[in-house]
């Protein structure tokens, strides 16, 4: 019969080990949540939009997520790494008829219009399929 190694701890030692493990776990969770809170809302929306355009299954209901023209222009950068121009977006809207889709006023930017991720994806696919 093979001998098994055993570790014997007192109640105090066990409690200290569990408390230390809990502190480390809490510190990790707080750090992760803090990083999420410090992220600008537009950055989070842009990440979701990019993920949705790459993989439509990444969002359960794309009709509930909205993005404005500034974010749509940032989805893919120009050769210089800058957002696409306003002129590009105007052409994109006309050629894909995104401008005819339902839009809402942006809650954060007042007069700026927003479109649902679903409509943006349809327009995106139509625009880049022709290119």
pTM: 0.69
The per-residue pLDDT for 130 is 64
1-5, 50-54, 88-92, 115-119: segment of lowest average pLDDT? 1-5
| Average pLDDT value for the chain | 90
Residue 35 in this model has a pLDDT that exceeds 80: no
* pLDDT tens digits, 61-116: 999 999 999 999 999 988 898 999 999 999 999 999 999 999 999 888 778 999 99
pLDDT at residue number 3: 82
**Contact indicator for 89, 124 with CB cutoff of 8 Å:** no
**According to the model, what pLDDT value does residue 82 have?**
92
What is the phi-psi region of residue 87: left when phi exceeds 0, alpha when psi lies from -120 to 50, beta otherwise? alpha
Q: pLDDT at residue 38 above 80?
A: no
3-state secondary structure 39-85: CCHHHHHHHHHHHHHHCHHHCCCHHHCEEEHHHHHHCCCCCCCCCCC
Judged against a pLDDT cut of 90, whether residue 4 lies above it is answered with: no
Supply the DSSP symbol for 38.
T
């Amino acid at each position: 019969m093979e001998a098994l190694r055993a570790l014997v701890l007192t109640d105090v030692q066990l409690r200290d080990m569990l408390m230390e493990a809990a502190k480390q776990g809490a510190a990790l969770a707080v750090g992760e949540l803090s990083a999420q809170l410090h992220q600008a809302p537009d950055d989070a929306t842009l990440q979701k939009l990019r993920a949705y355009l790459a993989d439509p299954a990444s969002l359960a209901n794309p009709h509930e997520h909205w993005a404005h023209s500034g974010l749509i222009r940032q989805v893919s950068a120009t050769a210089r790494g800058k957002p696409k121009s306003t002129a590009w977006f105007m052409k994109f809207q006309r050629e894909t008829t995104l401008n005819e889709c339902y839009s809402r006023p942006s809650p954060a930017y007042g007069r700026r219009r927003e479109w649902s991720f679903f409509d943006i994806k349809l327009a995106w696919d139509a625009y880049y399929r022709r290119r």
